[in-house]
Structure 1
Amino acid sequence: MRLNNNDVALAAIDRALALQPDEPAWLLQRANCLMRAGRVGEARPIVQALSESRLRTAYQYATLGLLLSRLDMQEQALPMYRRAVELEPGRSENHYNLATVLRFLGRLEECEHSLDRAIELNPRDWEAHGLRAQVRRQTVERNHVAQLESLLGSGEVDARGEVRLCYALAKELEDVGQPRRSFHYLRRGATRRRNLMRYDVEDDLQTMQAIAGQFDADFFSREVGSCDNDEAIFILGLPRTGSTLLERVLASHPAIGSVGESNNLAIELTRLAGAPGRGKRELVARAATIDFGELGRRYVETTRPASGRQARFLDKMPLNFLYAGLIHAALPRARIICMSRHPLDTCYAIYKTLFQDAYPYSYDLQDLGRYYAGYEGLMAHWERVLPGVIHRVDYEELVRDLRGVAAAALAFCGLDWDERCLQFHRSRQASTTASASQVREPVYATSIGRWRDYREELQPLIEVLDRAGIACDLA
């Protein structure tokens, strides 16, 4: 697997399983390979069976916990990580892994305790420092600013550790009301992160233009075949626009389950259209020739096992905005909701988030502004060629009038209002997004207009948006 050759690895593991069919080590490896290959449906029963088995080592329990977590089975992952801690209590990684799942499940005090223990065992666990800053709102009386600044100035931090510590400091300093110092560390961390990657925002912008050109009004005037299924509800847009809040509210309805942020649509699209080959634009061209009915069927078949037994299910992968037209072609009875937020609040919220792998445009203000403009252009295109298909939800309106906006979204999905939607913050459902801590609280408005604290620092972004004709309402 280290060579990223899953076929060779699976063949070797299958030979081992032929000799030892019940060996947990080989079964864990097989499930891991299948998931890396996107064959989640085949991996799931193996992982579920292993969760009911007795394993031997902390490493095996931790690996199983990771696989369960990746399948969004956080409640089942929790005892696996606890067992890993019991078997190897002196290993900091075990406490960190346990903390991640506790956060997903909203058990934030336990999460912070586990992170404290991880850092006590390994003060250089930069990821633990970063996550601990996010778990709660820091206060003047109780924060880690001095410890983080001491670590950052120690001269013992590598580049990736510097990024983690800078983002942690930015979060904690913003919490305690020091915006200038907060942005200083945020800019330092973002610049360092950007310098560690190879990325050109122009590639993404050209891909968006290619999508709009390929999937134009003429394309949607033709009969392309489709899947007659009305179960899916897509929430899409840019990250950090309130999609997790809307998801939690709607998923509190008894008729709606959620799969979180699923990659299944993109995976099945790539399988049908073929690997990117010479570039993304070639893939876009091939995507227009696929069997869209088959895409819809494959998407539902691969996604449904994780969605629960409710009549409808939510998929809140933000990047599905790229595929909004393809979703409608494949699943014309699916519902598509796009989250919107003030451009500068959106961009600032994205900029201050350290994403694991996605959204490489987020670490440079000019890249971010250009990508935002490209996103707005593509969404305007979808709404122009598919009038009435996409329902817009404004984050500020959702916060101001939760019941009214949520009821309108439910009506768009063909569902009646249910009072349980107002109690979303009491839900025990796991959340694995950057908003995993915030969704445990009732609706709050403190993040609205937050960009104004950084008007001067965000000037490069404001200039890019202004040149692109994006109205920012700077009052």
Structure 2
Amino acid sequence: MQYTKNQLYQIAVQSLESKNVKQAIEACRLLNVQFPRFFEGWHITAELYFKLNKPETSLLSIDHALALQPAEPRVTLQKIECLLAMQKLVEARELLLEIAKTNQRNITKWKKQLSLYVLDKTAMLLGVQELRKEALLQTELAVSLDPENPILLYNLSTGLRFAGKIKESETVLDKCLALNPFDFEAQAMRSSLRKQTKESNHIQELESVLEDKKLPVQGKVNICYGLAKECDDLGEFKKSFNYLQQGANNRRARMSYDVNSEINTINVIKNTYQKEMFERNIVGNSNEEAIFIIGLPRTGTTLVERILGSHSDVYAAGELSNFSLELVKQINMNTDTSKLSLTELVKKSASVDFASLGINYINSTKPSTGHTKRFIDKLPINMLYAGLIHLALPNAKIINMTRHPMAACYAVYKQLFKDAYPFSYDLQDLAKYYIAYHRLIQHWKTVIPGVMYDLKYEDIVHNQEAQSQALLTFCDLPWQDQCLRFHENNTASTTASAAQVRLPIYDTSIDRWREYSQQLQPLQMMLEQAGISCD
């Protein structure tokens, strides 16, 4: 049977949607062979192979499509995604910035639906590349086309929050929630933007939404965390913890997670990277650009990043997963990592070429980095790899952030993370993980003594200038006064602390956990039984 191009196209689309891969591939092949000048045929073929995780093959179809319709925005964005997947970061970045510049004049020529898709997708890709200012402009353009769209308004408020425009972000969220009160992510984010007061808060509105039977479970989680934050701001501590526990319990109940599995992996790391490993004269790469800030989340890692990032010789690159990704690539050179358990992966990691790992990591951070003497990677979970980082990059600086154990645990427990840190939603899980983390840090101090710089959150809060000077000295950086005025730094922050980093250092959170000492007592007992002082 002979199909028309439109019939073949519909078969390809429907097959792709129903995940009938074999039929989709055949339909696309026939489209491309029989109708080589049919633009949509190459477009759907590119989409198919990208979804099959074959960006190189997808890119071939994209180039055919762009030869027929140069600079077509949907396919150009598809090309950027392929280039990113292929780690062709410089080329992807250049093309992304080019399309961002042309969108403003092109949206007057396109249909509204196409304009909104292109602007939203461009903003998302710019955000992934940490180009936050450019991303915000794209979102603002999208909202100007559709000002009553709550999804776009939420995206705009997020961009404003990252940019430190907190008041503007709250105003946009108010509009978003007036259109859709059940946008529970928007509700929770609005609560986090500022300290609520008795005169100005959203507790009544949040409680009303929470009582609605139409609210899904994940919505209850977000609303409970928002209520916990606002009640804490108002000093209603018992009520705050009740909401917090309710939200955390609901979140934990929906997760398939075993903290003991993570603890086992940490123990394997310690057993694999013993003292002898560091006495083998392993030669890493001599590059000295990287400054790693490690520890648990919510222990001041963002604060220290902002202080160091205010220095003219330092670029704050954010929370990068690059080191672990490059480590897996190194292991993959000799082993199929898809068939390895986490513990097997750890054991195999000891045999990698650490010098190659080091330079591959550095190169993977470009083109974002490389334009200053040093850059910061502040992914807290890199504490798992501290010893490996030292083997790969012996001249890198590693700053280990610490905080009073109970303050650290409470700060983690009260934070609703998007995907990471699954141990944070149950006090027993949290205590177990903290103990394992504490022992791992002690292990690193034993096998690589003097390498990590310990910095207590409380010390930098109480003695900012002296601690900042010592920090810069450790990083081999000359003193600059603007490091004390980090809150004036207008670079974007995408962490849970995005609102707080716009303020000077404050000490109100240091002993906040003591307001909940009774509720946190089971956790404290577990820590103390493990020999961790909580005085």
Q: TM-score, normalised by structure 1?
A: 0.96
Q: Which residue of the partner structure matches residue 422 of structure 1? A: 484
- The 5 Å alignment of 1:118-133 reads 118-133=176-191
Equivalent of 2:362, from 300, 304, 311? 300
Q: Which residue of the partner structure matches residue 65 of structure 2? A: 19
Equivalent of 1:185, from 243, 249, 256? 243
Q: Which residue of the partner structure matches residue 44 of structure 2? A: none
Q: Which residue of the partner structure matches residue 66 of structure 1? A: 124
Does the CA contact (< 8 Å) of 1:96 and 1:118 recur in 2?
A: yes
- Relative distance call for 1:291 and 1:11 in structure 2 (3 A) is same
- Relative distance call for 1:285 and 1:346 in structure 2 (3 A) is same
Does the CA contact (< 8 Å) of 2:150 and 2:176 recur in 1?
A: yes
- Relative distance call for 1:380 and 1:93 in structure 2 (3 A) is same
- The 5 Å alignment of 1:339-350 reads 339-350=401-412
SS in 2 for 1:7: coil
Q: Does 1:388 align with 2:450?
A: yes
The AA in structure 2 aligned to 1:89 is P
Paired with 2:370 and 2:176, the residues of 1 have a C-alpha distance of 34
Does the CA contact (< 8 Å) of 2:58 and 2:82 recur in 1?
A: no
Larger RCO: 1 or 2 (CA < 8 Å, sep 6+): 1
Paired with 1:67 and 1:425, the residues of 2 have a C-alpha distance of 27
Equivalent of 1:357, from 392, 407, 419? 419
User: How many residue pairs get matched?
Assistant: 473
Q: Which residue of the partner structure matches residue 269 of structure 1? A: 327
Paired with 2:87 and 2:518, the residues of 1 have a C-alpha distance of 44
Q: Which residue of the partner structure matches residue 77 of structure 1? A: 135
SS in 2 for 1:306: coil
Q: Does 1:470 align with 2:510?
A: no
Paired with 1:184 and 1:461, the residues of 2 have a C-alpha distance of 16
- Relative distance call for 1:276 and 1:394 in structure 2 (3 A) is farther
The AA in structure 2 aligned to 1:262 is L
Q: Which residue of the partner structure matches residue 80 of structure 2? A: 31
Q: Which residue of the partner structure matches residue 436 of structure 2? A: 374
- Relative distance call for 1:196 and 1:73 in structure 2 (3 A) is same
Q: CA deviation at 1:73?
A: 0.8
Does the CA contact (< 8 Å) of 1:179 and 1:454 recur in 2?
A: yes
Paired with 1:36 and 1:196, the residues of 2 have a C-alpha distance of 31
Equivalent of 2:498, from 395, 418, 436? 436
1:308-327 CA deviation, whole Å, 9 max, x = no partner? 62211111110100000011
- Relative distance call for 1:64 and 1:166 in structure 2 (3 A) is same
SS in 1 for 2:222: helix
Q: CA deviation at 1:292?
A: 0.8
Larger radius of gyration: 2
Paired with 2:338 and 2:273, the residues of 1 have a C-alpha distance of 18
Equivalent of 1:53, from 99, 102, 105? 102
- Relative distance call for 1:276 and 1:395 in structure 2 (3 A) is farther
- The 5 Å alignment of 1:150-229 reads 150-229=208-287
Question: Which structure 1 residue ranges, 4+ long, deviate > 3 Å from structure 2?
Answer: 1-6, 32-43
- Relative distance call for 1:376 and 1:264 in structure 2 (3 A) is same
Does the CA contact (< 8 Å) of 1:6 and 1:36 recur in 2?
A: no
- The 5 Å alignment of 1:250-265 reads 250-265=308-323
- Relative distance call for 1:9 and 1:312 in structure 2 (3 A) is closer
Q: Which residue of the partner structure matches residue 326 of structure 1? A: 388
Q: Does 1:280 align with 2:329?
A: no
The AA in structure 2 aligned to 1:296 is G
The AA in structure 2 aligned to 1:198 is S
Q: CA deviation at 1:38?
A: 6.4
Does the CA contact (< 8 Å) of 2:89 and 2:366 recur in 1?
A: no
Does the CA contact (< 8 Å) of 1:369 and 1:465 recur in 2?
A: yes
Q: Does 1:452 align with 2:514?
A: yes
Q: CA deviation at 1:16?
A: 3.8
1:221-260 CA deviation, whole Å, 9 max, x = no partner? 0122311111111110000000111111111111111101
SS in 2 for 1:235: strand
Equivalent of 2:288, from 226, 230, 249? 230
Does the CA contact (< 8 Å) of 2:65 and 2:75 recur in 1?
A: no
Q: Which residue of the partner structure matches residue 93 of structure 2? A: 44
Paired with 1:97 and 1:11, the residues of 2 have a C-alpha distance of 32
Does the CA contact (< 8 Å) of 1:38 and 1:267 recur in 2?
A: no
The AA in structure 1 aligned to 2:286 is D
Q: Does 1:239 align with 2:294?
A: no
Paired with 2:220 and 2:86, the residues of 1 have a C-alpha distance of 32
Q: Which residue of the partner structure matches residue 412 of structure 1? A: 474
Paired with 2:63 and 2:141, the residues of 1 have a C-alpha distance of 25
Does the CA contact (< 8 Å) of 1:13 and 1:30 recur in 2?
A: yes
- Relative distance call for 1:341 and 1:37 in structure 2 (3 A) is farther
The AA in structure 2 aligned to 1:459 is Q
1:47-87 CA deviation, whole Å, 9 max, x = no partner? 22221222541121011111111111111111100011011
Q: TM-score, normalised by structure 2?
A: 0.86
